[in-house]
Amino acid sequence: MEKLATSLHDILDPEPPPPTKPFVPVSLKRSVLHDVARGLSFLHSHSPPIIHRDLSARNVLLNEGMVAKIADLGMARIVPSLRASTMTKAPGASIYMPPEALEDESRYDVTIDIFSLGVLAIFTLPKCFPDLWQQRTWTTVRGWWVEQSLSVVATTCGR
């Protein structure tokens, strides 16, 4: 069994502050997000698709080579198709969830995980989304995310 040394949350957590904690380069953060996207692609392209429903920095584990693995599939659900299915309120951390998943009984699909990946990217690469740290509600995050074009985000993150 592969040893998973740490979580994305552990390497992003500001405690302990630098210089005690090593600097995490943007290239590593991008690589981790790419690994997570590939993992979600695997789950979503399964037949039938699997929705993780609890993607967060704590559920992204890193091996000794800093390759990310999606963990904690305890809340995952198999959906009959790529169309939205009625499910109970998503169990994950609400900051990572789209609004429709926070209702008691709602219809959602694999896009719930994509939204969570977007929020994870915001937390992982904060310099790419500087205005978000002035306002902390998920509604602001969602509105900002929807309104921005990917080209603007990609250009900003490339710096």
Q: What is the dihedral angle through the alpha carbons of 104, 109, 111, 114, rounded to the nearest 10 degrees?
A: 80
Whether 56 has a pLDDT exceeding 60, the answer reads yes
Beta partners for 33? none
According to CATH, the superfamily of the domain at 4-157 is: Transferase(Phosphotransferase) domain 1 (1.10.510.10)
Whether 55 has a pLDDT exceeding 80, the answer reads yes
- Return the pLDDT at 65: 92
Question: For the segment 142-155, what is each residue's pLDDT rounded down to a tens digit?
Answer: 555 555 544 455 55
Of 10-14, 58-62, 70-74, the poorest mean pLDDT is in 10-14
| Per-domain residue ranges of the chain | 4-157
Residues 6 or more apart whose CB falls under 8 angstroms from that of 147 comprise none
pTM: 0.73
> Catalytic residue at 54?
yes
Helix ranges restricted to H, the chain: 8-12, 26-45, 111-124, 138-147, 150-157
Which residue in the list 54, 109, 113, 131 is annotated as catalytic? 54
Distance of CA 47 to the CA centre of its chain: 22
Instruction: Supply the mean pLDDT for the chain.
Output: 76
Whether 88 has a pLDDT exceeding 60, the answer reads no
Please answer whether residues 71 and 61 qualify as being in contact, where contact means their C-beta atoms are separated by less than 8 angstroms.
Answer: yes
Average pLDDT over every residue of 55-60: 94
Higher pLDDT, 159 or 65: 65
Residue 46: C-alpha distances to residues 29, 78, 104 (Å): 26, 9, 27
